[in-house]
Amino acid sequence: MHLVDMTPKAAPVLEGAKWSFVTRRVRRGIVETVDTDLAAARSGDLVLAEVQDLGSHKRLQLSDGRFSTLYPKDRVVLACADRFAEDQFEGIAALSPEGADLLAGGGVVGHLLSRNGKVKRPTRLSVIGRLAESEGRVLNVGDFAIDPAPRRGPARVIGVLGTGMNAGKTAAAAGLVNGFKRYGDRVAAIKATGTGSFGDVHQYEAAGAAQVLDFTDAGLASTFRQPVDRLETVTRTLLSATGDCDIAIVELADGVSQVETADLLRRPSYRALFDAFVLAVPGALAARGALRWLAEEAEVAPLALTGLITQAPIAVAEAETLGFPVLSREDLSDPATASCLHTILSQSPRAGAA
Amino acid sequence: MAQIHYQRGTPGVLPATWLIRPDMASRAAALVAIHGLNRETEAMAELLAARADATGRTIVLPVFDGACWPRFQRAACAQRSDWALLGLLQVLRDAGRIGPAVPDLSGFSGGAQFAHRFAWLYPGRVGRLCLVAPGWWTFPDARGSYPYAIGGSEGGTTAFHMRANVARFLDRDIHVTVGALDVGQDKNLRQDPEVVAQQGTNRVTRARAWTAAAIRAARKANLRPRITFRLMEDCTHSFADCVANGRLDRTFVPDGAIDPERQIGSLQTQLVEVA
């Protein structure tokens, strides 16, 4: 008796599939087979799925930077990963023959744990299997990560922190990119943590970054529930890949007290990668809380406050009493601010050296 | 003989520019010369051309026309003449018209107003500073409000930028000069009570007061002041007069030192070289 090889060939089932943003580094030519052992799924595995029931995400971010409207029965290539988003979904990197959830429009699939009450249920998917190479080894986005470069990163590194989602971090990071670029610097923009999505990357590019990287370039589809050692290595790898830039603007996702962000900021070795931080906040009280958390937990005093608060002059006036300059996105994109920040950085030790 | 080229600008974006190129160029930094409110730039270019040859330096003379930059002397004005000069220098560097060395900056009258504010906002983008007979100044003093000083909440981020940059701004060669006969009160000389009380009634007293304040501020910042003052005998408030009677052209466009550490380029490279 001999067993019949039932492993499906990938090419026929992949035909016409939409490859999502988080899979953009995958060399598609090495995909040969489809593995159907869904219970063995781990974070980062490449997943072929079919759209069954449209929910919150009605579009998919494609690997080429465009949106694609989703239709029932669309085949999509995604990455299995965890998701942490206060205003959307919480989910884990797990697959089931009964189906899976599209946890993020950048192409993250997994199992929903909870959702924000204002958000519809996620788009539901049938999982065809995990993509594998000819020998049957399941492919993972980590297989296509950039290698750490044997050189130091940019001379200056500024971190952008926030109190949570939608505090204005990405706008602040883009503003800084634009200001330093117009000052005459070659600027790298890095999204160090979060869930894979091209929205932030596009904003950095639009602001004039000479080089744009995120954690998906370092082999993660999402940083939620990843070991903090690995996350520190990701930031080091991304910085080392931007060594020909004068300065890097590094955005950390979510709030400073989010589990992974907090663990990173508590590490002196991680803080030592940065010269300074700015903090995006939605209001004065949030600023007060985040500043206190940063001082007590991470020994960090940001250079300035920024974010949504800058839309409200009355809140700015209150926040200014905390003793920090409050800079809007427009202020940050002023090359005179970049010049001023260079002055301040040239006079200060690195953030982690304090 | 130095060649004087006129380069068209882009209205509101890049100023038109007189570019004075020496017959024998040296590696010394370019010099940026800023005109006054009368905008007599062609005459200024002709008066400076000989110095381009004598020093081997390229002279850049932007024209902040009145239509696009009516208040250019404020630098961080509504039309952002500071951004215009930053952009112009980048374009000239990219085109190879000037080298990577940080340029020196000299300004006459309203041009000196612009020059000291520009250098204060971008201390890493300017070398030596020569300030000739501005009508009024921003003082390095936190006891007054912007734009006359750098204290208070007026001036928004510009005052914040200047407060942060004080020491770096003052840590350079700064030469202040004014004609001894420049004591009149013409229509371009601001006479607000606040200015008169802080700075004096004419350009000579104002230049002396600012020089003294700058020296005090430099010492307070633990710097050894490199700030000098010269009164040009027999000179009025005229660039041509100051060149003819006070040899201003030599002060305005001095021989340029070659400093390999003051280059605009890779910050990474600079830090490695300094280390």
Cα→Cα distances A280→A287, B157, B264, Å: 8, 17, 31
Cα→Cα distances A157→A181, A229, A254, Å: 14, 20, 19
Q: What is the pLDDT of residue B175?
A: 98
> Above 60 in pLDDT, residue A4?
no
Strand-pair category, B174-179 with B227-232: parallel
pLDDT tens-place string over residues A9-26: 888 889 999 999 999 999
Question: What does the alpha-carbon distance between residue B261 and residue B228 come to, in Å, rounded to a whole number?
Answer: 23
> Above 80 in pLDDT, residue B267?
no
Confidence of residue A162 (pLDDT cuts 50, 70, 90): very high
Q: What is the pLDDT of residue B19?
A: 97
> Above 60 in pLDDT, residue A354?
no
Whether the CA torsion A24, A67, A115, A159 is positive or negative: it is: positive
Partner residue opposite B267 with nearest CB, options A246, A340, A347 = A246
How does the average pLDDT of chain A come out, rounded? 94
Q: Which domains does chain B have, with CATH numbers?
A: 3-274 (3.40.50.1820)
Q: With contact defined as beta carbons under 8 Å apart, do A192 and A252 qualify?
A: yes
> Above 90 in pLDDT, residue A333?
yes
Q: Which residue of B has its CA nearest to A152?
A: B268
> Above 60 in pLDDT, residue A216?
yes
Q: What is the pLDDT of residue A347?
A: 86
Partner residue opposite A339 with nearest CB, options B121, B167, B268 = B121
Question: What does the alpha-carbon distance between residue A144 and residue A139 come to, in Å, rounded to a whole number?
Answer: 9
Partner residue opposite A327 with nearest CB, options B122, B157, B267 = B157
Superfamily designation of domain A156-353: P-loop containing nucleotide triphosphate hydrolases (3.40.50.300)
- Mean pLDDT confidence for A118-139: 96
- Does B157 contact A246 at a Cβ distance shorter than 8 Å? no
Give the residue, B152 or B148, on which the prediction is more confident.
B148
Query: Token digits for B205?
Result: 């007293």
Query: Token digits for B115?
Result: 């020059």
> Above 80 in pLDDT, residue A202?
yes
Q: In which residue ranges of chain A is CATH 3.40.50.300 found?
A: 156-353
Q: What is the pLDDT of residue B275?
A: 36
Question: What does the alpha-carbon distance between residue A20 and residue A107 come to, in Å, rounded to a whole number?
Answer: 5
Q: What is the pLDDT of residue A7?
A: 63
> Above 50 in pLDDT, residue B220?
yes
> ipTM score here?
0.92
Q: With contact defined as beta carbons under 8 Å apart, do B60 and B33 qualify?
A: yes
pLDDT tens-place string over residues A44-91: 999 999 999 999 999 999 999 999 999 999 999 999 999 998 889 999
> Which 173-232 residues of chain A touch chain B by CB within 8 A?
182-186
Query: Token digits for B270?
Result: 């600079």
How does the average pLDDT of chain B come out, rounded? 92
